[in-house]
């Protein structure tokens, strides 16, 4: 029930933020349409961006709450992405396009990747 109430409050605050973002966006549009002075428009745009940041943080916390009780596919996807980033950063493999240009979709092994490949091949040949 505690998780339900926090999910409910998160959903309610997200809905209120969405309406606040919509109202602020309309304000910015009307200011721009009436060609208001630039400082006024800038202040309205800053307020809109702040509201959007708050909205996205609420979305993230709601998402983490739901994925924590759900399948955890988001955390698995985040883990996969971090592993891929690390492997590319450490040059285990790299898209050939980044080195040679040409056709995308082909990959080259870096020095650590070549070592892993040769170890796998030597183990397989035994």
- The per-residue pLDDT for 71 is 54
- Hunting for tokens 């596919």 — which residue is that? 73
10 Å Cβ neighbour count for 51? 18
- Strand ranges in 11-61 using DSSP code E only, listed in sequence order: none
10 Å Cβ neighbour count for 20? 16
The vertex-81 CA angle with 75 and 83, nearest 5°, equals 105
What integer is the mean pLDDT of 3-12? 78
Residue 123 scores a pLDDT above 60: yes
CA distance 18 to 28: 15
CA distance 46 to 40: 10
Mean pLDDT value across the chain:
85
* Pair of tokens at residue 71: 């399948």
pLDDT digits (tens, 9 = 90+) for 61-84: 888 777 665 555 667 888 888 898
Residue 28 scores a pLDDT above 70: yes
Residue 122 scores a pLDDT above 90: yes
- Hunting for tokens 């702040």 — which residue is that? 50
**Which residue intervals of the chain are DSSP H helices?**
2-33, 38-69, 73-89, 96-100, 111-125
Enumerate the domain spans of the chain: 2-70, 85-125
What integer is the mean pLDDT of 42-49? 91
CA distance 8 to 62: 10
- The per-residue pLDDT for 116 is 92
User: pTM score, two decimals?
Assistant: 0.49
């Amino acid at each position: 029930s505690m998780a339900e109430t926090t999910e409910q409050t998160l959903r309610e605050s997200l809905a209120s933020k969405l309406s606040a973002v919509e109202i602020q966006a309309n304000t910015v549009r009307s200011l721009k349409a009436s060609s208001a002075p630039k400082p006024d428009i800038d202040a309205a745009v800053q307020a809109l961006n702040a509201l959007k940041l708050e909205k996205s943080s609420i979305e993230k916390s709601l998402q983490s709450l739901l994925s924590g009780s759900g399948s955890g596919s988001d955390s698995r996807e985040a883990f996969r992405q971090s592993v891929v980033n690390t492997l590319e950063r450490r040059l285990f493999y790299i898209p050939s396009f980044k080195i040679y240009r040409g056709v995308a979709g082909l990959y080259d092994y870096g020095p650590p990747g070549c070592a892993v490949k040769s170890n796998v091949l030597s183990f397989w040949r035994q």
